[in-house]
Amino acid sequence: MSADPAAMPPPHTANDDAPTGGGRSSALLTAHRAGLLGCRSCGRVWPEDAMECARCQAPLTPPDRRGLQAVWAWLIAGMIFYIPANLMPMMTTQSLGGLGGGGDATIIGGVLQLANHGDWFIAIVVFAASVMVPIGKFVAIIWLALVAGKPATEADAHNRLHIYEIVEFIGRWSMIDVFVVAILSALVQLGFVVSIKPGPAAASFALSVAFTMLSAQSFDPRLIWRGLPLHRRKE
Amino acid sequence: MSDDTTPRPAHPARRTAARAARASFSLIWLVPILALAVTLGLAWNAYSGRGELISVTFRDATGIVPGETTLKFREITVGEVEAVRFTDDLRSVEVDIRTEPEVTPYIDADAEFWIVRPVVSAQGISRLDTVLSGVFIEGFWDADRGEPATEFVGLDRPTLARLSGEGTWITLSSPGAKGLAEGAPVTFRGLEVGRMQNLHLSEEDETVLADVFIEAPHDQRLTTSTVFWDTSGFSVSLGAQGLSLNVDSLSKLVQGGVAFSTMATGGQPVEAGHVFDLQPDEETARTSLFGSSDRDLRLTMLASNDVSGLQTNADVTFDGLVIGRVTEIGVDFDETRPEDEQILQRITFVIAPDRLGVPASSTREEMLEFLQDRVEAGLRSRITSSGFLGTSMVVELLEQPRASDATLDIDAEPYPVMPSLPPEVSDLGASAEGLMDRLGGLNFEELLQSATNMMDAVTQLAASPDTRAIPGALRETLDEARLAVADVQAMTGELRDAGAAANLARMLDEAAQAAEAVQLAAADVPQMVEQMDEAAEAIEDFRFDEISAQASAILADLRAMLGTEDAEQLPRNLSDTLEAASGLLNDLRDGNAAGSLNATLDSARVAADEVAQAAETLPALSERFQRLAARAEAAVATYGENGAFTNDARTMIRELTRAAAAFGSLSRTIERNPRAFILGR
């Protein structure tokens, strides 16, 4: 935000620089610096006053920190659903019609049970996928949303981009728990002998993951580059 | 915010985008608000769906796992154990149970909780499913919404009330715990209709009490005139029908059990908690019924003090039918009576008038009137002894038309007095003594003397020359037979030389007739031997009181036997036959008789066969002799080894044996070669 007023006056010059500024090894040329606007749909850059991508007909919107509202909104919704996902049972097992025991297992409860049985590897995998990844994602998105668009060095910008990419990539893997529950519930339906049913936490968890994915999707990575000064001041 | 617009000229597209961004401001935030609302809704739902937390105290928490053990009501899970902890004094455990909201209102102060575990007992194995599923807590409460309670004390074992829910609780009282057992069945006509539990000692007296739960609808059969009796174990009874062994079901044999029956009509319905006395057996239970009905009459009789042995609960009989029982025995003192009758036994008894023939609908006054009439006709009461040994006493009502006039004293207190007759008591001791006296009066010495005399006579008989002559005569006969055989041999030789004689056939016919005579004679011998047999039998099973007579008889028999012509006839017949044979042969020899040789020889074979047949009876004869001797010996053996009498008897028996042996050797000789007897070969 604060970077923009300073960055605003020179776009014309930057515009002029863009076709000529080929020194990529020494300085980073962003679309913003070049006075161009990237299409979020297909990636083609257009002059800043273009209103529609002539290639994919997507509307062209300049990166704006106000767009972060969606990030925050989805993120908060995801976090809200993450709470019941942890408190309520993920999976209800019943063996021998309830005679052979069974019961409800929350995520952490399941992890502890696995650890108690000595299945450390699986426990760690489940813990990583169900606890560490979602929470790491929340933290990463919050951090990105906070710092996006703020002044940064190029190295910072690269870091933020990496983190954004990691979040984007890893987001879907959080669904591993939901998949496990879905597959088990579908496969282990032996009637009286054993049956597994998804608990309310499964839906919450799925919603939480979906919302965080939407949150990451709403994040406009162009904001990462907006944080760079318009001119290569160091040069 | 205005950064984008200020440096640039106003652009319609930009403005639209900005407006769109501003518009999305409110819309996108609906998502987390909705999420929050949903989550909060879920949380509230979960929280408000939570039931009450109740806490039940158990002695121990075997198998209870927080979060897993459930609370069940009629086998449906209605709660879950949340926590288990000790009570402050560490004497028991408290189990916190979260109950489901739908049953929570019913869990009031009368709710009961117990832990269901697998049970192996005499009643069988139950709740085996809990081995797999783990124990659970079972609760029972009724459908009334009472004052809610949260603190309960768990039971050690399930209450019986839950078995069916409906029924009546009564209490059984027994002097001992025999037949009573925790959970033992209560049967009605062999059908299990209830169970007992909670055996405890009475606080007032020394009886054992047990709570019995009779399930509906069988509890309708309980009235105040219901009796309970013990059916545990087995009973052996010896009666006129023989020995009978009564065993109820095996489970009752092992663990006990009681049965009940309502034998009399007219009882009132029982209230819960009614106390019944447990009777030791069905018979006692039946008699205990008298007096329980309102219609039963109580009467008193006065008896002199010299009768002992009558006890309360003794039967009151009329014509052998039990119509009541004795309820009380006391002392009646009345100075107005003659001096020796001032103190009398007052025996109170209760009778069921129905059994006396009083109409069932009659009132008490009518019944007494009826009795009054009967007493005037001679109905009296008296104490009499009964039973196998006559040791138990009963009160008997009997009609004695010739009895002196008496009346039923209806106005007497406390109960009407019935006139009584003197007691009739048969004393077992006295009759036993009489039996012993008679036994002692028997004259054993005389009997022994008679027996000795008898045996002496037998010895004399055996030693007599006549007896000894029998074997000699037999031997002579044999010798003569041999001579005859020699003659026959010679004759045959002559026959061979001279050819067949004409009248040989006739001769052989005669020989056959002679052989027949031998056979007849032999037939008489068995008869004679049978007489000896009988005599020997008589000796064998002689009795002290009969022995003299039998001894004389046996002597007479022996003498008669030995003196009979039959005995003498046997050798004589043989000799006659042989003489006739030899005479015949002589005739043949003299007359040179000749005829058809083949016919002759055939006839000879027939004759020989008949001789053989006759001889066959001889072994039997000798056998009988031997048997006679053996019996005599056995009889003698009963007298013991020593004494002159024994020796004499032995001698006699030896003689008899020898005689038998002689018979035997004769018969064997004939048997071995019967043909030689005729043909001399």
Tens of pLDDT, residue by residue over A174-211, are 788 888 888 888 888 777 778 888 888 888 899 998 89
Return the HEC string of B22-37.
HHHHHHHCHHHHHHHH
- Which of A62, A84, A110 is at the close of a domain? A62
A207 to chain B: which residues are within 8 Å by CB?
A: 35
Query: What pLDDT, on the 0 to 100 scale, is given for residue B590?
Result: 59
> What is the C-alpha to C-alpha distance for residues A221 and A144, in angstroms, rounded to an integer?
9
Domain hosting residue A15, numbered range: 1-62
Query: What pLDDT, on the 0 to 100 scale, is given for residue B96?
Result: 92
List the one residue out of A206, A225, A81, A68 whose CA is nearest residue B42. A81
On whether residue B309 sits in a domain, the answer given is yes
Q: Do A95 and A23 fall into the same domain?
A: no
Query: What pLDDT, on the 0 to 100 scale, is given for residue B95?
Result: 92
Q: What is the number of domains present in chain B?
A: 5
| CB-CB under 8 Å, B42 with A9 | no
**Which amino acid is present at B449?**
Q
Q: Do A149 and A209 fall into the same domain?
A: yes
Query: Touching check for B308 and chain A: CB below 8 Å?
Result: no
The encoded tokens of residue B50 equal: 């939570």
On whether residue B392 sits in a domain, the answer given is yes
Q: What is the mean pLDDT of each run of 10 residues along chain B (681 residues)?
A: 45 50 66 88 83 88 84 87 90 90 85 84 75 83 82 78 70 82 82 83 85 84 83 71 72 76 74 83 72 71 75 79 81 76 82 74 79 83 72 79 76 80 69 75 80 85 76 79 81 65 66 74 68 65 56 65 59 66 64 53 70 69 73 62 61 75 71 57 45
Interface residue of B11, B27, B42 to substitute, partner A, most A CBs within 10 Å: B42
A200 to chain B: which residues are within 8 Å by CB?
A: 42
The encoded tokens of residue B471 equal: 């074997």
Query: Touching check for B19 and chain A: CB below 8 Å?
Result: no
Q: Give per-residue pLDDT as tens, A124-179.
A: 988 888 888 889 889 999 998 888 777 777 788 888 888 888 888 887 777 888 88
Q: Do A98 and A187 fall into the same domain?
A: yes
> What is the C-alpha to C-alpha distance for residues B290 and B316, in angstroms, rounded to an integer?
10
* Residue carrying structure tokens 């996006």: A148
| CB-CB under 8 Å, A99 with B133 | yes
Q: Do B596 and B662 fall into the same domain?
A: yes
Per-residue pLDDT band for A234 (boundaries 50, 70, 90) equals very low
Query: What pLDDT, on the 0 to 100 scale, is given for residue B509?
Result: 76
Angle CA B555–B558–B562, to nearest 5: 140
Residue A24 scores a pLDDT above 60: no
The encoded tokens of residue B666 equal: 């004769």
Q: Do B517 and B640 fall into the same domain?
A: yes
Task: Quickly count: other Cβ atoms within 10 Å of residue B358's Cβ.
Answer: 20
On whether residue A235 sits in a domain, the answer given is no
A46 to chain B: which residues are within 8 Å by CB?
A: none
Residue B210 CA to its chain's centroid (Å) = 31
Ranking A14-28, A38-52, B424-438 by mean pLDDT, the lowest is A14-28
> What is the C-alpha to C-alpha distance for residues B529 and B659, in angstroms, rounded to an integer?
12
Q: Which residues of B395-412 are buried (b: 16+ CB within 10 A; e: fewer)?
A: bbbbeeeeeeebebbeee
Q: Do B524 and B670 fall into the same domain?
A: yes
Q: Do A76 and A188 fall into the same domain?
A: yes
Q: Tell me the C-alpha to C-alpha distance, in Å, between residue A26 and each of A21, A229, A233.
A: 11, 15, 12
Domain hosting residue B418, numbered range: 297-429
Mean of pLDDT over chain B: 74
Q: What is the pTM of this model?
A: 0.44
Q: Give per-residue pLDDT as tens, B559-577.
A: 666 666 555 566 666 666 6
B29 to chain A: which residues are within 8 Å by CB?
A: 69, 73
Tell me what the mean pLDDT of segment A44-68 comes to: 80
- Which of A62, A81, A103 is at the close of a domain? A62
- Residue A51's closest chain B neighbor by CA? B13
Name the helix (H) or strand (E) containing B387.
none
Q: Where are the beta strands (DSSP E) in B337-424?
A: 343-351, 379-386, 392-399, 417-418
> What is the C-alpha to C-alpha distance for residues B187 and B185, in angstroms, rounded to an integer?
6
Q: Do A31 and A113 fall into the same domain?
A: no
Residue A25 scores a pLDDT above 80: no
List the one residue out of B670, B529, B528, B510 whose CA is nearest residue B600. B510
On whether residue A100 sits in a domain, the answer given is yes
Q: Which residues of A140-158 are buried (b: 16+ CB within 10 A; e: fewer)?
A: bbbebbebbbbebebeebe
Q: Where are the alpha helices (DSSP H) in B247-321?
A: 250-255, 282-288
B78 to chain A: which residues are within 8 Å by CB?
A: none
Interface residue of A64, A88, A106 to substitute, partner B, most B CBs within 10 Å: A64
Q: Do A98 and A113 fall into the same domain?
A: yes
Q: What is the DSSP string of B427-466?
A: -HHHHHHHHHHHHHT--HHHHHHHHHHHHHHHHHHHHSHH
Q: Do A106 and A194 fall into the same domain?
A: yes
Contacts of B610 (CB under 8 A, 6+ apart): B512, B515, B516, B519
Beta bridge partners of B298: B350
> What is the C-alpha to C-alpha distance for residues B555 and B457, in angstroms, rounded to an integer?
7
Contact B183, B212 (CB under 8 A): no
Q: Do A102 and A181 fall into the same domain?
A: yes
Contact B310, B393 (CB under 8 A): yes
Per-residue pLDDT band for A5 (boundaries 50, 70, 90) equals very low
Size of interface A-B (CB pairs under 8 A): 73
Task: Quickly count: other Cβ atoms within 10 Å of residue B368's Cβ.
Answer: 18
Q: Do A32 and A97 fall into the same domain?
A: no
Q: Please provide residue A175's backbone torsions phi and psi, each rounded to the nearest 5 degrees.
A: -70, 0
Higher model confidence: residue B9 or residue A78?
A: A78
Q: Do A58 and A74 fall into the same domain?
A: no
On whether residue B182 sits in a domain, the answer given is yes
- Residue A203's closest chain B neighbor by CA? B39
Q: What is the number of domains present in chain A?
A: 2
Query: What pLDDT, on the 0 to 100 scale, is given for residue A64?
Result: 74
| CB-CB under 8 Å, B134 with A96 | no
Contacts of B197 (CB under 8 A, 6+ apart): B157, B159, B160, B182, B183, B210, B211, B213
Query: What pLDDT, on the 0 to 100 scale, is given for residue B12?
Result: 46
In chain A, count H helices and then E strands: 10, 5
Of B4, B11, B32, the CB nearest to A76: B32
> What is the C-alpha to C-alpha distance for residues A64 and A59, in angstroms, rounded to an integer?
14
Query: Can you tell me the ipTM of this complex?
Result: 0.73
Query: What pLDDT, on the 0 to 100 scale, is given for residue B3?
Result: 45
